[in-house]
């Protein structure tokens, strides 16, 4: 069975949050593994045509995942996720920031706060991702970056990009 | 032209556009007073005086907010007799969804890959 599960997006601008909810046809244990094992994360975390590449992963409270997004031309942009609370196979929180290859945060781009929940369902697992930002401006900026990635993912051309930029 | 180059052009363009953000829908709704104005006139069109009564701020401050909302077309002004009425423009709010679109593309790509990863580890 390979039905495509729908992803639900909700925005809560008043609280500077964006929520993403998606069901997966696999038990919580496996979904949890895919979200926390660096080898598996590298296989899916980056949207196409980017590739995620883990440099170091220390999945425990107070630990850090240092990884990069590798572009089609080989350029790497580094990110770090610092894990705050972990409730195995239930939820974890992390703060996410852009950084250099040594994990030193770059201050020119806003960070985000993640709260990921894993809920068992009749057919598998529901994942609820809540991303919060320090300000609406930060949220806006991250959305613009998402646009950039999304554009590349859609393999569009420059004209298409420009037509979407001009609101 | 590489994706990276396009991305750079795009990012620069976006930064240059910061000055124009005032007219942007998202800047407009980032302010709590402006969100309150929108929720009031979404229910019914209102005159500047009627609207100002709902706020502690000066009429001048309220009309400044209205000006920003009008500039980004979230609010339309219509003359009715001697009075001006402010109307909410729901069409413009659809841009909020348009703005979410790229975010969606990113996550759809991510999740379809995650589906494959899960399928693979399940069969191991």
Give whichever of A121-125, A150-154, B70-74 has the largest mean pLDDT.
A121-125
What mean pLDDT do residues A30-40 have?
Answer: 92
A63-67, A152-156, B14-18: which is most confident: A63-67
Band of pLDDT at residue A38, cut at 50, 70 and 90: very high
pLDDT tens track for A11-28: 787 888 888 898 888 899
- What is the pLDDT, as a whole number, of residue B104? 73
| Nearest CA-CA distance, residue B81 and chain A, Å | 34
Cα distance between residue B47 and residue B77, in whole Å: 9
Helix residue spans in B19-89 (DSSP H)? 25-30, 32-43, 48-52, 59-71
pLDDT mean over A117-145: 86
Q: What's residue A74's pLDDT?
A: 86
What pLDDT is attached to residue B22?
A: 36
Of the candidates A120, A57, A61, the one whose C-alpha atom is nearest the C-alpha of residue A93 is A61
pLDDT of B93 reads 66
Measured between beta carbons, the chain A residues lying within 8 angstroms of B104 are 7, 9, 150
pTM of the predicted model as reported, rounded to 2 decimal places: 0.61
Res B100: pLDDT: 64
DSSP state of A89: T
Between B9 and A123, the higher pLDDT residue: A123
Label residue A55 by pLDDT band (50, 70, 90): very high
Query: Which residue of B7, B14, B117 is in closest CB contact with A44?
Result: B117
Residue range B102-121: mean pLDDT, rounded: 84
Whether the per-residue pLDDT at A118 is higher than 90: the answer is: yes
Please list the alpha-helical segments (H only) found in A79-157.
136-153
Q: Give the pLDDT confidence score for residue A54 in this predicted structure.
A: 97
Question: Average pLDDT for residues A2-9, to the nearest whole number?
Answer: 69
Residue predicted with more confidence, B85 or B105: B85
> In angstroms, rounded to a whole number, what is the distance separating the alpha carbons of residues A18 and A9?
7
Q: How far is B72 from chain A (nearest CA, A)?
A: 11
Q: pLDDT: is B38 or B23 the higher one?
A: B38
CB distance B105–A153 less than 8 Å?
Answer: yes
pLDDT higher than 50, residue A139: yes
Higher pLDDT, A68 or A109: A68
User: A118 — contact with chain B (CB < 8 Å)?
Assistant: no
For B92-99, the CB contacts below 8 A with 24+ separation are B92/B25, B93/B25, B95/A167, B95/B25, B96/A11, B96/A13, B96/B25, B96/B26, B96/B29, B98/A167, B99/A143, B99/B25, B99/B26
Contact B30 A72 (CB under 8 A): no
Backbone torsions φ then ψ of A10, nearest 5 degrees: -135, 140
> Is A22 an interface residue toward B (CB < 8 Å)?
yes
pLDDT of residue A77: 86
| Residue A153, pLDDT score | 45
Best mutation target among B16, B108, B114 (most A Cβ atoms within 10 Å) is: B114
pLDDT band at B3 (very low <50, low <70, confident <90, very high): very low
What pLDDT, on a 0 to 100 scale, did the predictor assign at position A117?
Answer: 97
Q: Among residues 37-56 of chain A, which lie with CB inside 8 Å of chain B?
A: 40, 43-49
- Extract the runs of DSSP E, i.e. beta strands, from chain A: 7-12, 17-24, 51-57, 64-70, 76-87, 91-99, 112-120, 125-132
Q: How far is CA B62 from the centre of its chain?
A: 19
């Amino acid at each position: 069975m390979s039905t495509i599960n729908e992803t639900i997006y909700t925005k809560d601008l008043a609280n500077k949050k964006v929520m993403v909810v998606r069901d997966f046809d696999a038990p919580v244990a496996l979904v949890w593994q895919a979200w926390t094992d660096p080898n598996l994360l590298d296989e899916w975390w980056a949207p196409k045509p980017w590739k995620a590449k883990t440099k170091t992963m220390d999945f425990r409270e107070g630990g850090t995942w240092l990884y990069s997004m590798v572009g089609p031309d080989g350029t790497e942009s580094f990110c770090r996720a610092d894990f705050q609370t972990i409730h195995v196979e239930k939820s974890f929180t992390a703060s996410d920031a852009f950084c250099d290859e040594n994990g030193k945060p770059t201050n020119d781009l806003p960070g985000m706060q993640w709260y990921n929940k894993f809920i068992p369902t009749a057919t598998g697992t529901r994942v609820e991702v809540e991303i919060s930002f320090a300000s609406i401006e930060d949220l806006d900026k991250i959305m613009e970056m998402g646009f950039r990635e999304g554009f590349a993912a859609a393999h569009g051309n420059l004209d298409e990009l420009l037509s979407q930029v001009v609101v | 032209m590489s994706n990276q180059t396009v991305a750079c052009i795009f990012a620069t363009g976006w930064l240059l556009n910061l000055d124009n953000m005032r007219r942007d829908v998202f800047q407009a709704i980032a302010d709590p007073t402006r969100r309150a104005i929108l929720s009031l006139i979404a229910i019914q069109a209102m005159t500047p005086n009627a609207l100002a009564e709902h706020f502690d701020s000066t009429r001048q401050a309220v009309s400044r907010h209205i000006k920003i909302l009008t500039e980004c077309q979230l609010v339309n002004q219509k003359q009715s007799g001697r009075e001006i009425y402010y109307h909410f423009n729901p069409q413009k709010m659809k841009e909020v969804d348009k703005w979410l679109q790229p975010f969606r593309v990113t996550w759809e790509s991510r999740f379809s890959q995650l589906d494959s990863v899960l399928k693979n580890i399940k069969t191991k």
